[in-house]
Structure 1
Amino acid sequence: MNPAQPPTLRQQIVQFIGEIQNELRNFKIPKEYTTKNHLLNISGRFSGIFNELRGFSEGMTSFSNEINEASSQR
């Protein structure tokens, strides 16, 4: 992708999914959760996952509008 060009719709969707997958991979890494800091880390990871999912759902609304507009022009 040329840096001067905005990301395509497909690239934006792939990025959203990649960010969600990254959060899930981070959460899956086993650690010993024995301290308050470890528990806060778990909480932060859940927050990150839910924030990514919220962003994805909000993004999909605008993506679907773009897809509908593009398909109606064909």
Structure 2
Amino acid sequence: MPWTYPPQFDLLVAPFALLPAGVAYLLFVTATLTIYLLTLRAIAGKNFAQIMVSSFLHSQSRSAADRTAFLQAH
């Protein structure tokens, strides 16, 4: 499968290439989850908890797919 991400994404993920694969994966997933939750909190405001509960199953199914699940808007 060809690399379909824009060239700017390479600049974002290039530092992860210097780390062992397992550590890089864990850091990348943690970073994207943190960005996802901060963005969701900023958008949802006082309804953040309700949205987290209602989107739990969807988030779990997407995180099981790995890769950039938290960066994709579904």
**Taking structure 2 as the reference length, what is the TM-score of the superposition?**
0.35
When normalised by structure 1's length, the TM-score is 0.35
Higher relative contact order (CA 8 A, sep 6+): 1
